[in-house]
Chains A and B, each alone.
Chain A
Amino acid sequence: MGKFTIGCFASLVGSMNLDFAVKLAGAAMEKGHKVDLWVSGNATMISIKGQRAFKDYSSLEKPLKELMDKGLNVTACEACAEARGYTKDNTMEGVKRHSMDWYLASAFDADRVLHIGGE
């Protein structure tokens, strides 16, 4: 089985790209692959805990937690998060925060990298 790195830069609300990235991560894990999910730019919105789930807006806390429990590695760009006021204290449990070089390091030994840019 391989290692799959997904980098997503699109926002949680206002785009469906993160929904797709999380679904894809789940599908890859079901096939036995190891998956790293890097969120940067507006995509760091996904890392905030306690977001209220409305049916009209994307809400990924539940599926993300389920996938993290199964081994999905989720890391948010620390600078992008801090620039948006997303602090360590309001980060969802299990989501790591690192500088951008973490993404490159994940890509280093990935069999495939899928980079989903921002808006």
Chain B
Amino acid sequence: MATTKLGFIVQRPPYKSENPKLALTHAIASQSVEVYLNDGDVVTADVAFIGDGVLNCLKDQKAMEQYDLSSTESHIKMGLLVDLNILVCKEDLEKLGLTENDIVLDAEEFGADLKINVVPYQDINKMMEEMNHLLFF
């Protein structure tokens, strides 16, 4: 029995490229990875939004109305629903003039128990140190 911890670090803004959404869909795929592994082996996924990547967390995104696409916000909520640890860099939010009131913090409407954690960069750094592998998007 073994656990491999993957850290998904999202630095790019939403809708400019596919990267943030691919980070989230790959992280969410940690829920079904067992089909390829031996019994008891686990892959965990933690997600951190840093730099311009924090813009992915803005709430009330209108991607469906504007582009007929599922929003990055809905992917974040799906991540919470499957119990991903999702961190958002406090300093980078502040740098962009944003507060916790501007971003999605939970997915209660989907029945998710976990909430997004807005944390100082040093906490994200600590998370990254704990990972086996880091994937930058």
**Residues of B with C-beta under 8 A to A102:** 36
The range of chain A's interface size is 20 to 34
**Residues of A with C-beta under 8 A to B132:** 107
Identify which of B21-29, B72-80, B95-103, B108-116 touches chain A.
B21-29
**Residues of B with C-beta under 8 A to A91:** none
Majority SS at the chain B contact face: mixed
Q: Which of A11-35 contact B (CB under 8 A)?
A: none
B85 within 8 A of A: no
> Please, what's the 1-or-0 string for B61-105, where 1 marks a CB less than 8 Å from any CB in chain A?
000000000000000000000000000000000000000000000
CB distance from B63 to the nearest CB of A (A): 16
CB distance from B136 to the nearest CB of A (A): 6
**Residues of B with C-beta under 8 A to A40:** 22, 26
Q: A106: nearest residue on chain B (CB-CB)?
A: B36
Q: Are B17 and A104 in contact (CB under 8 A)?
A: no
Interface centre among B4, B134, B136 (most CB of A within 10 A): B4
**Residues of B with C-beta under 8 A to A119:** 17
Known contacts A7-B135, A101-B35, A117-B137; is-contact A107 B19 (Cβ 8 Å)? no
Q: Are A100 and B43 in contact (CB under 8 A)?
A: no
**Residues of B with C-beta under 8 A to A115:** 133-136
Q: Are B19 and A118 in contact (CB under 8 A)?
A: yes
Q: Are B18 and A107 in contact (CB under 8 A)?
A: no
Q: A83: nearest residue on chain B (CB-CB)?
A: B18
Q: Which of B3-55 contact A (CB under 8 A)?
A: 4, 6, 12, 17-19, 22, 25-26, 29-33, 35-37, 41, 43, 45
**Residues of A with C-beta under 8 A to B136:** 115, 117
Residues on A facing B (Cβ under 8 Å): 7, 9, 40-42, 80, 99-105, 107-110, 112-113, 115, 117-119
